[in-house]
Each structure stands twice: as structure tokens, then as C-alpha cells.
Structure 1
Amino acid sequence: MVTNFLQKYHLQNHQLALPKKQFVTYALYALIAVAFLHYLLFYPAPASEKPVVVAQVQEEEAAAVVSARVDVDAHQQLLAPPPPRQGDEVLRNQQPKAEEVAPPPCDYSDGEWVPDARPPLYNGTSCGTIKDGQNCMAHGRPDTGYLYWRWRPRGCELPAFSPDAFLRWLRNRHLAFVGDSLARNQAESLLCLLSSRSPAELAYRDGEESRFRRFVFREHNATVSVLWSPFLVKAAEKDERAGVRHNNVFLDAADERWMSQLGAVDAAVLSVGHWFLLPGVYHDGGRGVVGCHDCADLNRTETGFFGAFREAVHRTLAEVAKRHGAGDGADGRRRVVAVTTFSPAHFEGDWDKAGACPKKRPYRSRERELGYTEAEMRRTVVEAVRAAADAAGAGESGLRFAALDVTALANLRPDGHPGPYMRSDPFAGGGGGGAGGRVQNDCVHWCMPGPVDTFNEILLQYILR
């Protein structure tokens, strides 16, 4: 249109004379052209046509994001506490880091046994502290499947036993196992586990069947003792050869054979229960006889043993706290007192009439419920430990109490006992006449290695906690 306009009004001699109306029309066309050029220069085109303009916009957006981050950081710095003064440095260093916060305690009392191909840390010949009656491998037990199971708690993991970790904790310390033959069984298990890394040396023995023993790990200046006390309190044990069929248990008196030694002990593991199932008469100071169990031949009324067991455990923990709760252990930490809960037996039939435990694998979870006696014995220990822990936490006690709750896991292991292999070659010589013969079985104690090693896996986690 602009070209036609110039051709129509061609200027001769380089002069142009336009009427007023025509000049206004020309000016209008010129303004339209200028506006179009302005649009092209200042409004962004699509990315394919105007990449330079898009890059410029992206750079502006990135700058805005950086600016926003700077603003957020500045706001967070305003909310953060001021840095500590030089004098506060020690307090700051004592605060735990976020990654060092301990997880909630694992409940090891409920779970299941699962297959585990890892071999045990020791065997029937590599450890010299196994009591003869629990050395199932050396006595010729033919099956080995009972060795290849591990306890898997629900909702958490139980780490495999670490001899190195236990020995590090035990350095310059004294650990004592106090109680009956199951306490000894657990103690010997620990000695064998630790001996896989460091040799244990017998430093002291005394009493029938070496019921009082002390072992040292000289490389670590560490001590493990075994102290016999089948009721924890004072007792006159039965002696059927002398015509004494009943145990006489004195609930109001401490057993000084071990209690007097506890002041030099940094950690104690107590374990009793099975001796309360035997015939017994219970005394309580000036009150005289307060109960008896399996005592019809004494012309006394049967009271059962649950009350006596409860009194013995509660009074023992109270006496421990009274005598040894004021001071700390060798390293300045609180002393540890753990009580192992009741470990069920697995006799199929009467124990003294060729009752046996012939199972070759664990029960599945919930396959065998706890009996009333086992459940009551476990509950008594858990409640007594909880009461002692509450009392210790409320005062200035230097003791830490824990229940080593193994009743459920032990209940599911009928395959872990010596059975007839409490002695070497039990069916040899024709006396027993093969596997079906009437041979005495041990379905109370545990083969070593065997399920009892799991007791010490849990013990390690408790003491490290």
C-alpha cells in the first residue's frame, strides 16, 4: 500500500506537495508500521524463532530461585540457636548426635526359630569348660540339625553373638552367674563362646561338682564366676542318701555364699526355678514354717511353691539393691543385675520313668503353648525385675535391672536337650537295647553348643544397651 501511494504521487524535481488530508493519512500508515516493529522487538517469540530471548528469561528465573534460597537460609539462621560460648563447649560435646540415638529396645521374648547355615563358634572338643552331661557331640549324638537354627524376634533383629564385643565390654570387669544348674549351663556356654577368641583359665574351684568356680581371661583382665545357689536365698539342700527328702528354704535369710561376694562383681546373672519344683519346706524367720510343697509325708498341708518362689526372687533383688546399690562398678558405670526367666523342660512322660525328648527340630511358633507353671514362673521374674528397676530408678541406686526373658524361645526347642546323650554311648553294651530302651534322659539342660547360646546373644545386647 505504501508503494502504490508513492507511485501515484511521484515528485518531480524532488519536491512533494501534499494536501492536508493526504498528509494525515500518510502519518497514520507510518504509525502502524512503527507499532509493528515495536511488537517484533519487545515481545518474545516461540523458542524456535527467538532462543536468545528464552535463555534470557531462564537466567532471570534461576536468579530468582537463588535469591529465594538465600532468603530461606537467612530465615533458618534467625530461628537457629546461637553458637555456644567457649565455656559451653564441654556441654555441647556431651549432646548425642542425631545418628547416635539408640533405637527402641528390641523385644526378644517373642519370635520364631528359623534355619541358619552358620556353624556354632565352638564344638564338643574345642571348649574344655563344658560339663560332661551337656557335651552331646562328644557323647555321640548322631543328629546335628539342632545346631543350625537362630532365634528371630518379631519386628527386630537379634545380632549374632560377637565374642570380641563381649570381651571388650568385659575388660577390667567381673561377671558372675548365680543360681542352679541352668545358671551354670548358661555360664559355661558364655565361657565357650568367649574362648573362641581368648582362652579362659580356671583360677579357682570349690565345692561338690565344682559348684563355685572362677575363670579369668588374662588378655582382657576379665573374670567370669559361677556361684551355686539353687534358691538364691539360704537353704539346707535335700540329701536322700541321708534320708532327707525335702529342701528346707529360709526365705528371710540371704545366701551369704554368693551374696557376700557380690560387692566385687560388676554384673550378675541370676537363674533359678527348677529346684522349687522339688519337695520343699519354706521357713520365714519367727513365723516358722509358712508353706511346703510335695510334703504329704510330713503331715503338712500342701501350699505349693509359687508363693515361695515369688518371695525368694523379690527379697533377693531387694537385698541386692540394699547392699550393693549405692556404688558403681569398676568403670564408674551402674552395675547390671539380670535375671534369666524360667527355662521349660520337654519330657514326654515322667522324668524318672524313662521320659524322653525325642524331637529333632524346633516347634513352630504357637505350636506349643506355655504351660501354667512355666507361665507363672516367667511372670513372677518379670514382675520382680520391673519392681526392682522402678525402685532403682526412683532413687540413687547404682544398679540396673533387666529380665532376660528366654521362656518362649526355650519352650520351642525340644530338640536342644541332651536326652539320652547326657552320657557317652548311652545305648552301648546291650543294656538299653537301642533307641527304644529305657534309658535315663536329660530334657532340662541344654546341649552345648545349642539353644542356650542364644541366651547369651540376648545377654550381650542387654549389657551393651
Structure 2
Amino acid sequence: MKLAKVQPIVLVGGSNTWGIRNTFHSLLAILTTFLVISFIYIKQDNGTQLSSSSPPQEHEEMIDASQDDDTHHNNVSSSKCDLFNGKWVFDNKSYPLYKDKECKFMSDQLACEKFGRKDLSYQNWRWKPNHCDLPRFNATALLERLRNKRLVFVGDSLNRGQWVSMVCLLHTSLSSSTHTSMHNTANASLNIWKVKEYNATIEHYWAPLLVESNSDDPVHHRVIERTVRVNAIEKHARYWTHADFIVFNTYLWWRRPLMNVLWGTFGDPNGVYKKVEMLRVYEMALRTWSDWLEVHVNRNKTQLFFVSMSPTHERAEEWGADKGDNCYKETEMITEEGYWGKGSDPKMMKVVENVVEDLKTRGLNVEILNITQLSEYRKEAHPSIYRKQWEPLTQKQIQDPNSYADCIHWCLPGVPDVWNEILYAYLFQQ
């Protein structure tokens, strides 16, 4: 800033007192003017620097992963932020969030690297929602959130995979001195992982159809005819009644045109069996589930989530590959925007949305974690032949991937970790 030119002072009358006083006052005025102008200049300069370092409006909606307080996490509630629409970004510096060999609770069904998979780039993809970022997963912050609480995953093997992912995300971040334990109960249907220092449990309850069925045994559930009791849920629900956070799913076990419905009790000769169109039975079961929630859930304590259908990639012709092939040997994701395979059923998703919306009108909030579309792109992220379920695949089975490749579940680390990052954002948003 250019200062005004100051005129020289001329002393008149030599040692005249008035002249000296006048000169002193003039010097004081000049000094004061200079200080004021300098202060204004400094303030303007600092204001310019502050303005240039402030993030633009769009960035104000993004989440700084270094922040972990609740105020920070509320950024994901911005009206422009859609956690479920976005793109996958390759990030081999931050991802994977853990190594499968470091997690002693890893499931062999999902440990693809352990069982011979060499191309591991599926581990290095980060989900980038539109107009915001997912918060960086912070195990310590989450365990503080879960102190003296229960986080329970309820559903099928996809839900169990998300539970394993959550356990590994937390376990691999703990110090070696932290005491953890794993045990099961309810005839092995309920698996409980506990972090003693936080008195926090992360649990999985096996209920693939949510309501009672002939597939409820966590090990022996391969049946030719699947039968459900659509009005019976208490057998399962009593194990998660008092949980603080419950994450539900149910989808894959319903994929058949007709379902056997039983009115009565299994083994009761007076029970009434009837084949009903699957979509109708699905809705009936979810209505039983929602009615139970309305009556039994403590609305001041429990947060509820429903994970949408997990897509499958069993038909390679759907993404332009050879007919008869599947996800085996796939190393790149699908790049077609909005891709939707035949393994996902929009009608079933609509049923879930309707039931959840009806619950909200009754004053009970259930958040739908809509992971379907973002997972549709990830055809390369399934275990394929690189897994063990009950027994390792035989050499003959490995050589027949069109019959034995698992294109339903997901390798870990991988896609379910992103589902948990989204869940993490919701837990802190609340």
C-alpha cells in the first residue's frame, strides 16, 4: 500500500516554545497516521491470506479423515452428499485397511490371498461418494462409540461376511495387549466377539430368512425344499432384543419362484403347508419382522439398519464376456455406469423400501444401507476358487470353475469393508 506524501516541517523563530510544541504535535499526528495505516494494511493482508486458505463451498461438505468428533462426522448428512452414488477410486496407499493374515478371526471362505489368489488389486479400491468423502475408518473412535454396547449383525452369510470384516477392521488396529475373545451360543447361531477393555461386543446371529425356517441351523442348512414360518420370529429375535445397534439383511435365501409356507410348528402333523409366490412370502416375512421391531425395540436406545441385496456375478455374458463363464479370472471391475445384473431383484428391494417407509410412519427409523449399486461394479472381488468353505476345493473342482467358483461372497479385505465404512459414517452421524 502506498502511503500519502508527508510535507516537511519548518521551524519558525528558532527556540520559540510554540514552534517546538507545534512541531511535536505535528510529529505525533504523523506517527499516529502511520500506525493506523499500517494496522489497516496488516489486517487487510491477513484477511486476504485467511480467505485464500479457506476451502471452497464444495470442500466444506467433504469429510476430513483426520477428524473424529461427532460434529465432523455430521458432514455426511449434507443435502448434496449421497453415500451410495459415486465411483470407485484406485488407492493402493490407504487400502487395504488391514491384511487378511493379520486378522486371526478371518474366515477361510473369504481369505482369497491365503488360498492362492495372486492378483490382489481388488483390495486397493476406495469408494468415493458424490460431493463428499467417506470418513476414514478409526477403530479407536468406533470402540469408544461401542463402549458398553452391542453391535449385532443379523442375517445370512453375506451379513456374516460383513461381520467378519468389522471384526478384522477393529482387531488389526488393537494393540497386542488388548484382550479379545470369541465364543458362540444359541446352538452356534450367535457368534460373539468381545473387546474386554471397552466391554464392547460385535456379534453375528444366523437367521438367513429372519423369520423361522428349516434353514436355521448355522451348519446343516442345505435343504431341497425351503420352508418358512412367516409369522414366527421370536425364536431368533430374543437374542437381539436388547442390542444397541442391529444390522439386518435377507435376500439370497429367497431366490426361488415359490416358497413353502408353514402355518403351525415344524414336526406338527396338524401344520398347514402351502406353496406361495416368493415375493409375497418375502413381504409377509418382512411385515412380521417390522411388527416385532415396532413392539420390542427401545427407540431411545437401539439404532436399526437394513443392508440391501448383495449382487452376484455368476453370468459373464451380462457384462459382455463369454456365455457360460462367471467371475473366475476377472481382474477388473465393470465400468458401465449404472450397471445392474440379473442377480439383483428390484422388486425385492422395493418391498424392503415399502416396509421400512411404513415403519417410519409408525415412528421407528430404520436406515437402509443401499450397497447394491456400488457392489454391482465389483465382479472381480469374489472368492471364485480361492476359498475354503467346509473343506478345501479338490483339484478336480478347482479345474471346473464354471461349476465351483464362488461369485456370491466377497474376498476380504474388499467390498464388505466399504459397507462397514458406510455403516461407520451412519454410526457417527447419529
TM-score (norm 2): 0.72
Q: State whether residues 190 and 203 of structure 2, in contact with CA within 8 Å, keep that contact through their aligned partners in structure 1.
A: yes
- Aligned amino acid, residue 90 of structure 2: P
- Within the candidate set 208, 214, 225, 1:246 is matched to 225
Confirm whether residue 336 of structure 1 aligns to residue 303 of structure 2.
yes
Q: How many residues align?
A: 354
Matched, 1:368 2:339: yes
Alignment of 1:192-211 (within 5 A): 192-198=168-174, 200-205=180-185, 207=187, 210-211=188-189
Secondary structure of residue in 1 paired with 2:420: helix
- Is it true that 1:345 corresponds to 2:345 in the alignment? no
User: In 2 relative to 1, CA 287–437 (structure 1 residues): closer, same or farther, beyond 3 Å?
Assistant: closer
- Quick one: structure 1 residues 341 and 180, their matched pair in 2 at CA, closer, same or farther if it must change by over 3 Å? same
| Inter-partner Cα distance in structure 2 for 1:271 and 1:377 | 12
- Structure 2: how far apart are the matches of 1:336 and 1:151? 24
Match in the other structure for 1:29 = none
8 Å Cα contact 2:73/2:428 also seen in 1: no
Alignment of 1:3-22 (within 5 A): none
C-alpha separation in 2, matches of 1:155 and 1:287: 54
Q: Does 1:223 align with 2:201?
A: yes
SS in 2 for 1:167: helix
SS in 1 for 2:248: strand
> Which structure shows the higher helix fraction?
1
Map of 1:214 onto structure 2? 192
| 1:109 alignment partner in structure 2 | 84
Q: Is the Cα–Cα contact under 8 Å of residues 363 and 412 in structure 1 kept in the other structure?
A: yes
| Residue 399 of structure 2 is aligned to residue 462 of structure 1 | no
* Closer, same or farther: CA 413–428 of 1 in aligned 2, 3 Å: same
- Alpha-carbon contact 1:281-1:289 (below 8 Å) kept: yes
Aligned to 1:160: 136
Superposed, 1:56-455 pairs within 5 Å as 102-103=74-75, 104-105=77-78, 106-117=81-92, 118-198=94-174, 200-205=180-185, 207=187, 210-237=188-215, 245-254=224-233, 256-278=234-256, 280-283=259-262, 291-292=275-276, 303=277, 305-325=278-298, 328=300, 334-348=301-315, 355-364=326-335, 366=337, 368-371=339-342, 373-392=344-363, 400-423=365-388, 429=395, 431=396, 438=402, 440-455=404-419
Moved more, 117-126 or 404-413: 117-126
Shift in CA distance, 325/159, structure 1 to aligned 2, threshold 3 Å: same
Identify if the C-alpha distance between structure 1 residues 238 and 192 changes in structure 2 by more than 3 Å, giving closer, same or farther: closer
Q: Does the residue aligned with 1:253 lie in a helix, a strand or coil? A: coil
Distance, in Å, in 1 between the alignment partners of 2:126 and 2:378 is 11
8 Å contact kept, 1:406–1:455: yes
- Which moves more between the two structures, 261-270 or 275-284? 275-284
Q: What is the TM-score of this pair, normalised by structure 1? A: 0.67
- CA contact under 8 A between 2:334 and 2:377: conserved in structure 1? yes
What does the per-residue CA deviation read over 1:75-99, in whole Å, with 9 as the maximum and x for residues that have no partner? xxxxxxxxxxxxxxxxxxxxxxxx8
CA-to-aligned-CA distance 1:12-40 (integer Å, 9 cap, x gap): xxxxxxxxxxxxxxxxxxxxxxxxxxxxx
Report the AA paired with residue 229 of structure 2: F
Letter in 1 for 2:411: C
* Contact 1:191 1:200 survives alignment (8 Å): no
- Report the Cα distance in structure 1 between the residues aligned to 2:290 and 2:203, rounded to whole angstroms: 19
- How far has the Cα of 1:202 moved from its partner? 0.8
Partner secondary structure for residue 125 of structure 1: helix
SS at match of 1:421: coil
